[in-house]
Structure 1
Amino acid sequence: MGYAVVLGEALVDLLETERDGELIYRQAIGGAPLNVAVGTTRLGGDVRYYGTLGNDTLGDRIAAFLRQLGVDSNNLTRVGVPTTLAVTTFDGAEPTFQFYGEPPSYSLLRPDNIDESVVAAADVVYAGSISLMRKPFQDAARKAWAIDGPLRVFDPNVRPKLLPDAAAVTALRDLVEEFFATADLVKLSSADAEVLWDGAGPAAAADRILKIGARAVVVTCGAKGAYVATPEANVMLPAPAVSAVDATGAGDSVMGALIRRLLADGVPADLEGWQRYVRFALAVAGLVCESPGGAVAMPTNEELTTRWGALL
């Protein structure tokens, strides 16, 4: 089994909660690509993480967290701005994010930070999320994406708070469709699809992404499960029943689980193979939803077995 290269943001989530009748904010390490890197690693995968961290105490904590969990962070770059904060509020278990810090500490990865030999030797390269919306990171991601060799997986991870008007939505749609065209797998949420394509449902969004050029699409639909599509066939898979307390990082855990399966077994030959991968990923996400806090909730294989029994 080889390794995955994961590019994107690392930041600190301030999660709104209540204690003794008072609203407080609990600190948690997050960022969708960081969650993906941690999720893949916790499931036994090998990850090389590319990102930028503020050269401050919060950046030190994130770097230490990655080292502690075994994520290869030799390609982390420290930058002279404060580490980005994401204030997270909730509607039930579903999070909403507001970002603070300009320029964002996560946006400063440069093309010359990308080691082409590391990416070329990888089995999987992941890109996407909010870091892609800013330069110079966007150019760094394009450079890594263009390198031949690894499977390409992508998650737009749309954040409406960062899209102030219709022009911003159009610009993001054009950007992510550029990456969709050469992706082996696109994972997005039903909420992402609605924002990108004027309320499109999972089937319409998946059909569009496949026609653009992606080889497979997984649209997560929260408690309803996930829609899985290839050019030949599609299916809606139910999610396992859970007692959700915090959905932060659930979608990222799906991507981490899918990367873990791609590292172990490669691209499935057919829709049935993708269904096995996605059932596994939904079980991972269900367990994440039963614990608070994104990256720290990413489970191990042993924890999955304890919760769900033997998984495909």
Structure 2
Amino acid sequence: MEAYDVVVLGESLIDFVPLKKEKSRMFKATPGGAPTNVAYGLAKLGNKVALISRIGSDPLGERIIHALKEGSVETRFIQRDKKKPTTITIAMPQSEDSGRYVMYRNNTADGSVSFDEIPDDLFNSAKIFHCGTLAMSSPIAYQTIQQAIKEAKKNGVIISIDVKLCPSSWDSQQEMIKVFNQLIDQSDIVKMTKEESLALNINPKHIVKGNNKIILVTDDRGGAKIYYREDCIVCKAPSVNVVDETGAGDSFMSSFLHFYLHYAHMLELKELLTNGLQFAVYAGSKAMQRHGAIIEF
């Protein structure tokens, strides 16, 4: 098995993004899904990245594969489902919070990503395993993610997760909170929004106390914070002309992981996290200046 800098697991889908902020019938179909965006961003930054996902055997799935290959992401671990379609998401105009996305993922392919189709030795030499969480409400995807984390930990791989809440996908809010808190406890690097930390009733200061866990909290256009040990680092976002916020957090995450991966052995921890946060905030701001989540760096 080839060695990968980062192995990413999670949903691949198509985002329909409005071309104008005002009420419009014009949408652009762009490949997306938080982990897919992160994989693409990491690859464009020069990292060797493998993506594990599941798409439908349909034209939308082929569009995703084509875009990822153009971005140098390894796609041979993406599973094809002959019975279930590729997930789609519509970003509604005139809305800027997490509720702007209308998701069509009832019985779609991403929830059936199978651990049995993942090669046993894929995690042997990876440095970071990054996991998306949107599909956690599906029992099959939940088990796959748990098994993959266990396999990665067995090989000493750094575990990174991106918290993506979709309350409408869960039968129980209590179950959702329980699952996400369990996942955060298993991880070394966690990214969430300020809104998500409040929804999960999480205080990042308490989570990082007494361990080496790193918590990244983004605040839309307000910038971001890193919590680790007893410290909190703050970075304000630059003022930019916002065209589309889709995928800005994913560009932020891929950039931070890239910086962490390549400079951890060179910099003292506080300097590493400070500079990494600044680099990530810049990337997130850049992503806001164009349509779609997959961007050129």
When the two structures are superposed, what TM-score results if normalisation uses the length of structure 1?
0.85
Give the structure 2 partner of residue 278 of structure 1: 277
SS across alignment from 1:23: coil
1:172-187 aligned at under 5 Å gives the runs 172-187=176-191
Q: Distance in 1 between matches of 2:165 and 2:21?
A: 30
Please tell me the residue identity of whatever aligns with 2:263: D
Between the aligned partners of 1:108 and 1:21, the Cα distance in structure 2 is 35
Query: Taking structure 1 as reference, are residues 98 and 163 closer, same or farther at Cα in structure 2, changes over 3 Å only?
Result: farther
Residue 34 of structure 2 contacts residue 250 of structure 2 at CA under 8 Å; is this kept in 1? yes
Relative to structure 1, is the Cα distance of residues 104 and 273 closer, same or farther in structure 2, using a 3 angstrom cutoff? same
Report which stretch shifted further, 169-178 or 44-53: 169-178
* Match of residue 291 from structure 1: 290
Equivalenced residue count is: 289
Which amino acid letter does the alignment assign opposite residue 178 of structure 1?
Answer: Q
Structure 2 equivalent of residue 305 of structure 1: none
Q: How does 1:91-106 map to 2 (within 5 A)?
A: 91=94, 93-94=96-97, 96-106=100-110
Q: Secondary structure at the match of 1:131?
A: helix
Counterparts of 1:65 and 1:30, CA distance in 2: 10
1:151 CA drift (Å)? 0.7
Per mean C-alpha deviation after superposition, the further-off stretch among 267-276 and 142-151 is 267-276
Long gaps (5+) in structure 2: none
| Contact 2:209-2:230 at 8 Å conserved across structures | no
1:70 paired with 2:72, answer yes
Separation in 2, partners of 1:196, 1:117: 34
Change beyond 3 A, Cα 1:16–1:214: farther
1:141/1:46 CA distance change after superposition, 3 Å: same
CA distance in 2, matches of 1:65, 1:8: 16
- TM-superposed deviation, 1:38: 0.7
The equivalent residue for 1:49 is 51
Alpha-carbon distance in structure 2 between the residues aligned to 1:2 and 1:22: 42
1:89 and 2:86 matched: no
Q: Distance in 1 between matches of 2:57 and 2:287?
A: 30
Say if 2:32 is the partner of 1:30.
yes
Structure 1 unaligned residues grouped into runs of 5+: 198-203, 301-312
Higher alpha-carbon deviation: 132-141 or 264-273: 264-273
Question: Counterparts of 1:273 and 1:169 in 2: how far apart (Å)?
Answer: 36
Deviation at 1:59, TM superposition (A): 0.8
Q: Secondary structure at the match of 2:197?
A: helix
Contact map agreement 1:181 1:213 (CA 8 A) in 2: no
Does the Cα contact within 8 Å between 2:19 and 2:291 map onto a contact in 1?
A: no
151, 154, 168: which one pairs with 2:158? 151
Q: Decide whether the 8 Å contact of 1:93 with 1:246 is kept in 2.
A: no
Q: What amino acid is the match of 2:224? A: A
Contact 2:37/2:251, CA 8 A, preserved across alignment: yes
**Aligned CA distance change for structure 1 residues 142 and 241 (closer, same or farther; 3 Å):** same
What displacement does 1:74 show? 1.1
- The equivalent position to 1:117 in structure 2, one of 115, 121, 140, is 121
